[in-house]
């Protein structure tokens, strides 16, 4: 301290100050140690943070029980520690007037937010009021020193005994008003707020969030930041609604997609761009669900459609299976491709499944027995018995089959990402397509059925073939349906006869046309 400070304080004694700390013992251990700044207090070691916190609280309680009432002749302990109240930061402008202590001497207790440090000190009531988080647990009986302001001093209480709050630290339990809790979250029962402080407590500005992301306070332009903050509030308000409003939620997702796209452009953050893409997909899905529930117009100028597979995720899984079969089919030709596709859907999750004779015979194969024998002969398919047993099996006694290439390895990874509950939905969808009543009535062979499966996954929401109705390139189409151009023309004619396809046009480069309204419920639209 300076000579001026010593002269001002005269013969007054320094205020008492002690600290109880909770620290980790070392890495790789849950043990903690409790230490006290009083030299006579020995270190304690506890097995866990909870036990250490309880011991620290109990230790501070013991000190507060044993300590005499605050001494009227003591000067501020925080002044001896050169706190920022008495010694402002050099980087800040000087105060308009020098700080002067005042009011009765009190015993104040502070706790940090993490519940790792507790401090008790003697100081004047003005310093206690100006110290963020300080709680007064005792006041000297005779106030010492002049009151330098017209502000009343804090209420006088007896020395309190801290109690443990729900979160982290002690709280005084003695009689009288002003009993503190060492917690940042819960006010003490019966505690009254101190009288107005000379330095108001600083509060952090509210953190604006959306989608678990903090909106930076300095984000530019301001209109973008305002939009993100408003959207975050609107999403939270929607979560509190008693009844869902899908139209409103779709609008919010669309606004979120636009805002996150702009945010990504400002910051160059690819994660924000990915979040915007997910919001766009969510908006489209929610919009379809709303239109299907209300019977409104679903897609462009078409009516609402209730599809067998209802969400885009399922449609993408179907396309992934078709692509896998196109790359891994063990035998050439549309018949082998169709059978391999159906067996893959039956066994996709674990490599095993059940099959009956009707499942194979309903595919329009020329010689199902010969084809199954070829699949077992090349090792792609494994049966417990003969092919005749498989073709003769009935639903009450199905034949277990195994596709070794689809059995997951030890790490559990396989060629497909869908789970156990999704597999039967995809398999049921394919079965509905290939056994469509008009395909059965026209006795369609395997080729048209395979083409029907492919077109159902390569049309837009209104049934037009290809992305945006521009048609399907032939190189993609013949990869899924392994036939030449002349055979493909015959297959499209069969689907037109079966009321699957209208206005087909096959050129050297692509197939255009539109799926009929009758089969739209079986489609998996391109997004």
**pLDDT confidence bin for 18, thresholds 50/70/90:** confident
What would the mean pLDDT of 65-89 be, rounded to a whole number?
70
What would the mean pLDDT of 448-468 be, rounded to a whole number?
92
DSSP secondary structure string, 435-455? Answer: T-HHHHHTT--HHHHHHHHHH
Return the higher-pLDDT residue of 513 and 4. 513
Residues 202-257: tens digit of each pLDDT: 555 567 889 888 999 888 888 898 899 999 999 999 988 888 888 889 989 999 99
What would the mean pLDDT of 282-295 be, rounded to a whole number?
73
- What does the pLDDT read at residue 85? 62
> Cβ–Cβ contacts within 10 Å for residue 436, how many?
19
Least confident among 84-88, 133-137, 477-481: 84-88
CA–CA separation, 359 vs 275, rounded Å? 42
The overall longest dimension of the chain from CA atoms, in Å, is: 113
Q: Is the confidence at residue 144, as pLDDT, over 70?
A: no
For the chain, what is the total number of helices (H) and then of strands (E)?
17, 15
Q: What angle do CA 82, 86, 92 make, to 5 degrees?
A: 100
Q: Is the confidence at residue 381, as pLDDT, over 90?
A: yes
| 51: helix, strand or coil | helix
What would the mean pLDDT of 184-196 be, rounded to a whole number?
39
Return the higher-pLDDT residue of 340 and 412. 340
Return the higher-pLDDT residue of 110 and 201. 110
CA–CA separation, 218 vs 142, rounded Å? 51
CA–CA separation, 197 vs 125, rounded Å? 10
Residues above pLDDT 70, as percent of the chain: 78
**pLDDT confidence bin for 19, thresholds 50/70/90:** confident
| Alpha-carbon dihedral sign for residues 187, 193, 194, 198 | positive
- Is residue 126 a contact partner of residue 101, using CB atoms and an 8 Å limit? yes
| 106: helix, strand or coil | strand
């Amino acid at each position: 301290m300076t000579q001026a400070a010593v002269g001002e304080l005269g013969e007054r004694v320094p205020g008492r100050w002690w600290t109880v700390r909770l620290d980790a013992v070392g890495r790789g251990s849950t043990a903690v140690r409790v230490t006290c700044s009083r030299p006579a207090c020995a270190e304690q070691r506890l097995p866990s943070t909870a036990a250490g916190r309880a011991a620290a609280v109990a230790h501070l309680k013991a000190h507060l029980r044993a300590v005499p009432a605050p001494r009227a002749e003591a000067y501020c302990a925080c002044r001896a520690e050169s706190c920022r109240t008495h010694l402002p930061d050099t980087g800040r402008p000087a105060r308009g007037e020098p700080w002067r202590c005042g009011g009765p001497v009190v015993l104040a207790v502070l706790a940090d937010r993490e519940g790792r440090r507790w401090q008790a000190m003697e100081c004047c009531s003005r310093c206690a009021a100006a110290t963020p988080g300080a709680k007064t647990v005792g006041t000297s009986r005779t106030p010492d020193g002049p009151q330098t302001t017209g502000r009343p001093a804090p209420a006088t209480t007896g020395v309190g005994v801290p109690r443990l709050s729900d979160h982290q630290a002690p709280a005084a339990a003695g009689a009288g008003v002003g009993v503190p809790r060492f917690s940042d979250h819960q006010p003490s029962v019966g505690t009254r707020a101190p009288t107005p402080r000379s330095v108001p407590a600083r509060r952090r500005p509210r953190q604006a969030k959306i989608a678990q992301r903090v909106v930076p306070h300095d984000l530019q332009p301001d209109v973008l930041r305002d939009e993100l903050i408003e959207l975050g509030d609107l999403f939270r308000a929607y979560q509190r609604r008693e009844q869902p409003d899908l139209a409103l939620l779709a609008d919010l997702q669309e606004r979120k997609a636009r805002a996150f796209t702009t945010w990504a452009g400002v910051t160059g953050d690819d994660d924000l761009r990915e979040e915007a893409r997910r919001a766009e997909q969510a908006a489209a899905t929610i919009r379809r669900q709303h239109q299907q529930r209300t019977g409104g117009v679903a897609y462009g100028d078409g009516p609402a459609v209730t599809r067998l597979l209802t969400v885009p995720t399922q449609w993408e899984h179907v396309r992934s299976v078709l692509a896998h079969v196109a790359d891994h089919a063990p035998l050439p030709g549309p018949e082998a491709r169709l059978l391999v596709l159906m067996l893959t859907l039956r066994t996709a999750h674990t490599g095993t499944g059940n099959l009956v004779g009707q499942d194979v015979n309903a595919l329009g194969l020329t010689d199902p027995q010969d084809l199954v024998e070829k699949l077992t002969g090349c090792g792609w398919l494994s049966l417990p018995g003969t092919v005749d047993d498989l073709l003769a099996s009935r639903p009450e006694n199905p034949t277990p089959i195994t596709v070794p290439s689809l059995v997951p390895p030890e790490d559990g990874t396989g060629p497909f990402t869908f789970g156990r509950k999704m597999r039967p939905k995809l398999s049921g969808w394919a079965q509905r397509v290939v056994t469509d009543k008009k395909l059965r009535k026209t006795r369609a062979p395997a080729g048209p059925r395979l083409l029907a499966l492919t077109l159902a996954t390569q049309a837009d929401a209104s049934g037009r073939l290809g992305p945006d109705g521009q048609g399907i390139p032939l190189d993609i189409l013949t990869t899924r349906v392994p036939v030449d151009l002349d055979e493909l023309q015959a297959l499209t004619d069969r689907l037109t006869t079966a009321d699957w396809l209208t206005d087909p046009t096959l050129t050297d480069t692509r197939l255009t046309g539109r799926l009929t309204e009758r089969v739209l419920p079986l489609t998996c639209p391109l997004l």
